[in-house]
Amino acid sequence: MTTDETPEAVQLAANRAMWDERVPIHTASTFYDIPGFVAGADPLRSFEVAEVGEVTGKSLLHLQCHFGQDTLGWARRGATVTGLDFSVPAVEAARELAGTVDLPDARFFAADVYDAVKVLDGETFDIVYTGLGALCWLPDITRWAETVAALLAPGGFLYLSEFHPITDVFDENGLTVTTDYFRRGPMSWDEPGTYTDATVETENNLSYEWQHGLGEIVSALIGTGLRLEFLHEHDFSLFKRFTSFERSTDGITEVYRFPAGQPRVPLMYSLRARKSS
Ligand SMILES: C[S@@+](CC[C@H](N)C(=O)[O-])C[C@H]1O[C@@H](n2cnc3c(N)ncnc32)[C@H](O)[C@@H]1O
């Protein structure tokens, strides 16, 4: 077996093929609404903007940036942005979008997260931003945390906003626990379509995901020496995760919540962890 044929390499290659195929579907989708973004709509969620704070003049690295819409959202707010994603079509689309919205200084790199330090040649950043369906694609959360810490400049911080891992244990109603919170190791899926269009025909449908508990994620970050400044658990999600969800607005962001009267669990979380200066 050569290095490229390790189970992890095979799994990541399947994931990359799956993501590569979905990039043009996503860029054409109403879900991502590129025309709206080009016209000036802000793709960032209001809670993220509030929790990250002022970014003007700061360098920001977006890990797993997909086709860069959120990355460019931070650029519009004044950050000097760099995006990194292992999907070449995603990075090409990000560069094209940066040209369309006249943000030529935005840089995008095609690389695995775990290779980010090497690919970025040791460059460090004021802010590392990531999340919203990112960590589940990574097999090793300790290696991820070490990578993030190495990418941060002294005094810089990681801002992570993610879907809460507890939501993975419930049935589609969000009422009954059907899956073990502590399951680990790769889970494989073989499903056509994508979250922007479940009915679209796709060929590369095999993917692998890894479930990471909240405690593991926080402990991995603290273990690198980063100082946790907050960990917020949110009672909203960004999509209709469970059938009972009702749509509401949280400031300017469309969100989904359990109906009034139904007991709640956290649906998302966000955290900020800072490197000492
Ligand atoms: C759900 S998307 C993230 C969505 C993103 N928050 C956005 O702006 O829409 C997950 C992204 O992770 C990328 N990805 C998955 N595994 C990766 C890895 N090991 N290294 C780098 N990027 C990866 C995929 O190519 C995809 O663009």
pLDDT tens track for 204-245: 999 999 999 999 999 999 999 999 999 999 999 998 888 889
Residue whose CB lies within 8 A of the most ligand 1 atoms, among 86, 141, 238, for a mutation test = 86
The fold adopted by the segment(s) 7-274 is Rossmann fold (3.40.50)
* pLDDT tens figures, 124-142: 999 999 999 999 999 999 9
Q: Where are the domains of the chain?
A: 7-274
- Does the CB atom of residue 52 touch ligand 1 within 6 A? no
CA distance 59 to 74: 10
Tell me: pLDDT of 95 over 90.
Answer: yes
Residue 54, phi-psi category: left (phi > 0), alpha (psi -120 to 50), beta (remainder): beta
Please report the pLDDT score of residue 251 as a whole number.
72
The residue to mutate among 15, 21, 22, 66, having the most atoms of ligand 1 within 8 angstroms of its beta carbon, is 66
CA distances from 107 to 103, 129, 130, 271 (A): 9, 15, 16, 25
DSSP E strand boundaries for 80-138: 80-85, 107-110, 125-131
Identify the pLDDT of residue 1.
47
CA–CA distance, 205 with 199 (Å, rounded to integer): 13
CB 71 within 8 A of CB 102: no
Ligand 1 pocket test: pick from 10, 137, 238 the residue with the most ligand atoms within 8 Å of its Cβ: 137
From the CA of 71, give the closest atom in ligand 1: 8
Eight-class DSSP state of 214? H
Residue having the nearest C-alpha atom to atom 27 of ligand 1: 66
Share of the chain above pLDDT 70, in %: 98
**Whose C-alpha lies nearest to ligand 1, atom 14?**
64
19 Cβ inside 6 Å of ligand 1: yes
* Strand ranges inside 24-182, DSSP E: 59-63, 80-85, 107-110, 125-131, 152-163
| pLDDT above 50 for 175 | yes
Among residues 203, 210, 190, the alpha carbon closest in space to that of 24 is found at: 203
Q: pTM for the full model?
A: 0.96
12 lines ligand 1 (CB under 6 A): yes
